[in-house]
Structure 1
Amino acid sequence: MAYETDEQQAEALKQWWAENGKQVIFGIVIGLVGVFGWRGWQEHRADVNASAAQALGQMLEISGQGETDQALVQGQKIIDEYANTLYADLASLNLAAALVGRGEEAAALAHLQRVIEQRRDPALTDLARLRLARLLLSLERAEEARALLDSIGKAYAAEVESIRGDIALAAGDLEAARQAYERALAEGLADTDMIRLKLDDLAGTQASQ
């Protein structure tokens, strides 16, 4: 719309502001709250993660000194205080390892299952599944271990095949064990010496049959 005088333009602006000014101010305020609220949330998350990382470092240091009881207490504290972070999952993985060493398999199972149920990070979830499968096999729960292996991603293919070999060996299926161990080597398993020893033992057993 064209205005004939500056006074007409100014009057039109006053009228527009009277009708829309509150909405404009409200929109600006909401925008500022959103920006600064998001920044505050991000800063809060960074502070929480920093505290959780420090707590996990302390747990690992204590564990490295052989103070298992204190490490278990510290690990549970991390889970309680930082339950919604990856550091809680890392604490659970470390707690499970310590508990297995103490012969407390049931408690270890619970920590591994907790990480799996959280599904917070695919790599950590698969690592928990892998460790749980090994633990289940050691508890002679081979069928549960085998079922769990099917849900583990390709990143752990070599380790999965190694456990498949152990499951087959425990069941007395020497040929299936041999094939699984060979697949583990082909997938690039890190602990090749142990697998080669198992293959040598299998070869000797099969030759004597």
Structure 2
Amino acid sequence: MAVDELLDEHEQGERVRQWIRENALGVVGGIAVALVLVYGWGRWQDHLQGKRIETGAAYATFNERVAAGELEEARALAGSAGLEEGVYASLVPLDLAAAQVGAGDTEAAIATLSDAREADPALGPVIARRLAVLLVDAGRTDEALAALGDARDAGSLEIRGDAERAAGRLEQAREAYTAALAALDEAAPQRGLLQIKLIDAGGTPAGDDGEQAR
């Protein structure tokens, strides 16, 4: 090997050693910080997993209370076990309201669903539809329409038609039922019932030629 090459290698080695001497503290500190962050992240994930397990167990106990008809106990448990956050903020009122309806206390079910303000985006429309159905059955049709808001899915439109029909507004009922039919797949099993509702409201389901209902 040539002398020049040996000198170059020696010079490069000296530069590496010099860099290490100057930056050793920073490198070690960076590694230490990284290790702390990794450890802390792991501990935080363990904490979250523990909370998920704990909350899931509380929800199971809540459902046991509901199934046993212990509705006040179930409500108290939901309030003390962190079941008023996240997806449970929607599941709990849905379960509780269903049990209240089963027990014949429709007004309590309406109150339960009306108070479900922090609904999960995926379940919020379900709560609105169930609340609207109960309000229609209770004769509170304007409140039912308000609960549905501007929803244009087939289920909401059908309930809107039911509310308008119950209020004696047949033209609006026909419009809602027709829109609900248009939003449904041709093979949807609920089309038959919707067509009956439309006919009962004085409308005519669209024929094979695509003519819109009147």
C-alpha distance 88-168 of structure 1, shift in aligned 2 (>3 A): closer
Structure 2 equivalent of residue 51 of structure 1: 54
1:114 aligns with 2:118: yes
C-alpha distance 16-159 of structure 1, shift in aligned 2 (>3 A): same
How far apart in 2 are the matches of 1:8 and 1:89?
Answer: 69
Task: Flag structure 2 segments of 5+ consecutive residues without an equivalent.
Answer: 204-214
How far apart in 2 are the matches of 1:82 and 1:72?
Answer: 10
CA contact (8 A) 2:181 2:191 kept: yes
How many angstroms does 1:199 deviate by? 4.3
Aligned residues between the structures? 191
C-alpha distance 201-141 of structure 1, shift in aligned 2 (>3 A): closer
2:64 to 61, 64, 67: 61
How far apart in 2 are the matches of 1:158 and 1:166?
Answer: 12
1:90 aligns with 2:115: no
Structure 1 equivalent of residue 77 of structure 2: 74
> Residue by residue, what CA displacement relative to the aligned partner does 1:159-208 show, whole Å, maximum 9, x if unpaired?
1111210221133121321342344355267666765664464359xxxx
Report SS of the residue matched to 1:126: helix
1:13 aligns with 2:23: no
Structure 2 equivalent of residue 140 of structure 1: 140
> Residue by residue, what CA displacement relative to the aligned partner does 1:128-176 show, whole Å, maximum 9, x if unpaired?
333344455547261x543553454x6xx12111121022113312132
Structure 1 equivalent of residue 25 of structure 2: 22
Q: Where do residues 151-162 of structure 1 align in structure 2 (5 Å cutoff)?
A: 151-152=150-151, 157-162=153-158
Report SS of the residue matched to 1:66: coil
Structure 2 equivalent of residue 124 of structure 1: 123
How far apart in 2 are the matches of 1:41 and 1:77?
Answer: 23
Structure 1 residue ranges (4+ consecutive) displaced by more than 6 angstroms after TM superposition: none
Structure 1 equivalent of residue 207 of structure 2: none
C-alpha distance 64-191 of structure 1, shift in aligned 2 (>3 A): farther
CA contact (8 A) 2:154 2:179 kept: yes
1:40 aligns with 2:43: yes
C-alpha distance 6-179 of structure 1, shift in aligned 2 (>3 A): closer
C-alpha distance 106-38 of structure 1, shift in aligned 2 (>3 A): same
How far apart in 2 are the matches of 1:70 and 1:193?
Answer: 42
Q: Percent identity?
A: 35
Task: Flag structure 1 segments of 5+ consecutive residues without an equivalent.
Answer: 116-120, 205-209
Structure 1 equivalent of residue 177 of structure 2: 181
**Structure 2 length as normaliser, TM-score?**
0.68
Q: Give the helix-richer structure, 1 or 2.
A: 1
Q: CA RMSD in A?
A: 3.5
Once structures 1 and 2 are overlaid, which stretch shifts more, 178-187 or 13-22? 178-187
CA contact (8 A) 1:113 1:128 kept: no
